[in-house]
Amino acid sequence: MSFPAPVTVHAGSEDPQAPLVVLFHGIGEDESMFAPAVPHLPATAGLVLMRGPIATGRGYNWFERRDGRIHPPSLVRVMDWFEAWIDETAAGRPVVVVGFSAGSAFAGSLVLRSPGRYAGAAVLSGAIPVESLGGEVGLAGRLSGLPVFLAVSEQDAIIREEYTRETWHYLVEESGAEVTTRRDPGIHEVTEATAVELGRWLERVCAGLGTGTTTARRQGECAQTTR
């Protein structure tokens, strides 16, 4: 299965060397989902609100679902599609991926598959498919030094609690990532308060690019991967 070129909305910096922040919406939504958060995100970064390539109901998604679960072959195809876009578009720029709900599963899968390609990741009101990926890669310490923002909605009635617990435990205790956590008292959404905290985290990540041994190593890896 092939996918068309991504549908995207751009905001923030137009500097071709600026860090690129790509935002992935939830299932059944589209790129407009993150529009209310944009004013809280750093203008020093290039912001890309992207539409998932798989039509789902009235919106889109980042993978097919079978029996209520991620269908791994479709997830891999969409990851390949996205990384081909990054190779063509980002061309050595640091890339941070941000996902909400199903978009966080996609963002998490990207960084677990190719951690050196990305300068950071944010998981918002969602979970990453740790169990399904565990047989493919060694997960302990896999995200060593990677900045990660993890926000959990305490009144979330959408994401199963065990998935949230598993994601929190892996990222905080086992992944080796530099994790910033937030517990939002709200429901399954990106609240204004979470968007503000996400923006502050992104500012710190973008400001730190090019400094420190870990960041310098990751930028070099990213440049090698994206040619």
Read off the pLDDT of residues 154-175 as tens digits, 9 standing for 90 and up.
Answer: 888 888 888 899 999 999 999 9
CATH number of the domain enclosing 174 = 3.40.50.1820
Residue 46 located in a structural domain: yes
Rounded distance, CA 146 to CA 185, Å?
26
Residue 221 located in a structural domain: yes
Q: Give yes or no for residue 131 having a pLDDT over 70.
A: no
Q: Where are the alpha helices (DSSP H) in the chain?
A: 72-89, 102-113, 130-134, 161-169, 192-208, 213-226
Residue 183 located in a structural domain: yes
Rounded distance, CA 69 to CA 54, Å?
15
Residues 6 or more apart whose CB falls under 8 angstroms from that of 68 comprise: none
DSSP 3-state percent helix, strand, coil across the chain (nearest 5): 40, 20, 35
Residue 120 located in a structural domain: yes
Residue 2 located in a structural domain: no
Q: Give yes or no for residue 222 having a pLDDT over 50.
A: no
| Total domains, the chain | 1
Rounded distance, CA 200 to CA 40, Å?
8
* Residue 106 lies in domain: 8-226
Residue 22 located in a structural domain: yes
- pLDDT tens by residue, 45-59: 999 999 999 999 889
Is 0.95 surpassed by the pTM of this model? no
Residue 106 located in a structural domain: yes
Tell me which residue has tokens 């498919």.
129
Confidence of residue 190 (pLDDT cuts 50, 70, 90): very high
Rounded distance, CA 106 to CA 21, Å?
14
Residue 3 located in a structural domain: no
